């Protein structure tokens, strides 16, 4: 008679742990702004070495070397047309005009990227609210973008809260 009770307890413990795993795995792959910037720098080197066509194919591969955890690349023309050239996390976005995309607070994100890319510095950070790809929660994301030729390449990371946890 004790077997069914023990089996039930094991089932409940397994269920409890399985509910905790998605949260734990999302925490484990949380990247930093420094890692996002490093990915952009690595992408620009690859782009310069291999050219736009080969680089974009690599950058747009969701299983490729330029997608890691919650990090992925994006790219747009400097001319400001808002056409998505690269999106390592969602190939369905390629070729779409997202110029007027807004974050949860109404900030025109792509326009902010284009403005920064066309500035004298040609590189820097843009903060906005965005759903985390693993947790789906709205979080503060900071994206590093850098101009190269007639495009800019970017990558973002989610900022930790003041307590140090997301």
Per-residue b/e over 115-154, b at no fewer than 16 CB within 10 Å?
ebbeeeeebeebbbebeeebbeeebebbbbbbbbeebbbb
Please report the pLDDT score of residue 132 as a whole number: 79
pLDDT at 1 over 80: no
d(CA 147, CA 46): 14
**Whole-prediction pTM:** 0.79
pLDDT at 3 over 60: no
Ranges of each domain in the chain: 1-29, 31-158
Average pLDDT in the chain: 84
Return the CATH class of domain 31-158: alpha beta
pLDDT at 152 over 90: yes
């Amino acid at each position: 008679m004790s077997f069914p009770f023990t089996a039930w307890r094991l089932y409940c413990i397994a269920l409890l742990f399985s509910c905790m795993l998605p949260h734990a795995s999302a925490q484990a792959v949380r990247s930093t702004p420094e890692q996002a910037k490093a990915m952009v720098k690595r992408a620009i080197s690859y782009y310069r070495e291999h050219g736009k066509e080969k680089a974009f194919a690599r950058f747009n591969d969701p299983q490729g070397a330029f997608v890691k955890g919650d990090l992925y690349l994006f790219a747009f023309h400097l001319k400001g047309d808002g056409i998505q050239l690269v999106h390592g996390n969602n190939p369905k976005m390629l070729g779409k005009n997202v110029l007027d995309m807004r974050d949860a607070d109404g900030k025109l994100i792509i326009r902010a990227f284009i403005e920064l890319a066309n500035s004298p510095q040609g590189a820097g950070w843009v903060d906005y609210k965005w759903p985390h790809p693993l947790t789906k929660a709205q979080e503060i994301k900071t994206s590093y973008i850098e101009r190269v030729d007639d495009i800019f390449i970017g990558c973002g990371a989610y900022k930790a809260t003041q307590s140090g946890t997301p």
